[in-house]
Amino acid sequence: MAGIYIHIPYCKQRCSYCDFYFKISQQDRPEIIKSIKIELLENVNYLNNKEVKTIYFGGGTPSIINEKELEDLIILIYQNFKVKKNVEITVECNPEDITTNKIVSYRKMGINRLSIGVQSFNNSELEFMNRSHNAEKAYNSITIAQQNGFENISVDLMYGLPNQKIDALQKNLSIINELKIKHFAAYGLTIEKKTKLFHLIKTKKIIPLQDHKVNEQFYLIEDFAKENKYIHYEISNFAKAGFLAKHNSAYWENKIYLGVGPSAHSFDGKQRKWNVSSNKKYIEGINNKSINYFTIEHLSKQQHYNEYLMTNFRTIWGVDTKIIEHRFGRSYKEKFLKAIKKWLNKNYVKNEKSIFKLSSTGKLFADQISSDMFLIN
């Protein structure tokens, strides 16, 4: 099985915490859409004729482009790739873009999953994040989608915001429950350089939420998920049975995928390819074969091993020493078992036969545990 990711590099405005690549001006949009089509056609053999199980439009803000542009891309994929009959097609949407007409069009063109960037149902939090929608629009966007046939909806939430109160987070979660959302992602705020948030903290205009309060919010989300029968299948992702995100799960399961568009990444099982984070350079590279618009990195066995640890420690499936031995050899398994002891002793990791999973506390230190376990030359 394989997946296709299409990066639409436009947003209406920059959120205070965001360091993703995008452009506000859409002047070059026709050229970008044309270039994405060319890149798709040039990579019809990238997936080795494997069946496409998932198609994911991310960004940026894919819902910012019109329905004709989106449908043309879907048709092109169907015409040139081997697409699974019940393929999962996801579009990331901002609440302010969702209208009845757009949602009806999405359904007609085969889109069957929406990922809505709500982030919060609290107006003061939305204003702090510089989101372009308000709480009412966030709520209504979900009901519009549901009323027009969308059941498979994911909602993004943020926690760990400066001055965020626990009761405000509880309110956000209660609305998730009220709307019978099948999947939600809860992302702890990260402070990235070159963002407005980083500048505000650096100049001491705002103070980050204390770690123990962020941890308290994470535990609240975990408890909410358990009480309401969500499967906590990845550190930031929660789903009702039957609604796990197939596309994201494929990333974590090391499946191959093709990424097209500026800043998109691809993986063919042996090497990674990532496109330039520049609309101008991307367009130039697509239209002038003497200009390279992507970089390729061949992954060593050690890098594959490190990535397996990094991704699988974050998931419900954990790290399996049987898989380590099968993929990488007995010596890797022995090194893993030696290195994991200190985390077992701290109760950050639990052992279920050959499988090692993070405990609830361990999930707070997932990146630290993974990096500590990495093999480095």
Other Cβ atoms within 10 Å of 221 Cβ, number: 23
Position 67 in a domain: yes
Let me know whether 238 and 308 are in one domain: no
- Assess contact for 324 and 332: CB atoms under 8 A: yes
User: What confidence score (pLDDT) does residue 235 get?
Assistant: 96
What is the C-alpha separation between 199 and 7, in angstroms, rounded? 27
Alpha carbon 153 to chain centroid distance?
14
What is the C-alpha separation between 98 and 291, in angstroms, rounded? 38
Position 157 in a domain: yes
Q: What percent of the chain has pLDDT over 90?
A: 85
Let me know whether 315 and 189 are in one domain: no
Number of domains, the chain: 2
Position 263 in a domain: no
User: What confidence score (pLDDT) does residue 100 get?
Assistant: 98
Q: Name the residue with higher pLDDT: 202 or 263.
A: 263
CATH number of the domain to which 312 belongs: 1.10.10.920
DSSP state of 365: G
Compute the average pLDDT of residues 221-241.
98
User: What confidence score (pLDDT) does residue 16 get?
Assistant: 85
Position 280 in a domain: no
Cis ω for the linkage preceding 60 (within 30 of 0): yes
What is the C-alpha separation between 286 and 265, in angstroms, rounded? 16
Let me know whether 339 and 215 are in one domain: no
Across the chain, mean pLDDT equals: 95
Amino acid identity at 345? N
Distances from the Cα of 87 to the Cαs of 5, 56, 78, in angstroms? Answer: 13, 10, 11
What is the C-alpha separation between 74 and 239, in angstroms, rounded? 26
What is the per-residue pLDDT across 302-327, written as a single tens digit (0 to 9) for each? 999 999 999 999 999 999 999 999 99
- Domain of residue 352 covers 301-373
- Assess contact for 292 and 278: CB atoms under 8 A: no
User: What confidence score (pLDDT) does residue 10 get?
Assistant: 94
User: What confidence score (pLDDT) does residue 252 get?
Assistant: 84
Distances from the Cα of 257 to the Cαs of 163, 247, 294, 322, 323, in angstroms? Answer: 39, 9, 15, 25, 21
User: What confidence score (pLDDT) does residue 291 get?
Assistant: 84
Q: Which own/partner contact pairs does 311-315 have at CB distance under 8 Å and 24+ positions apart?
A: 311/251, 311/252, 311/254, 312/252, 313/356, 313/357, 313/358, 313/366, 313/369, 313/370, 314/234, 314/235, 314/252, 314/358, 314/366, 315/233, 315/234, 315/235, 315/252
Distances from the Cα of 27 to the Cαs of 30, 57, 73, in angstroms? Answer: 8, 20, 19
Position 218 in a domain: yes
Compute the average pLDDT of residues 168-196.
94
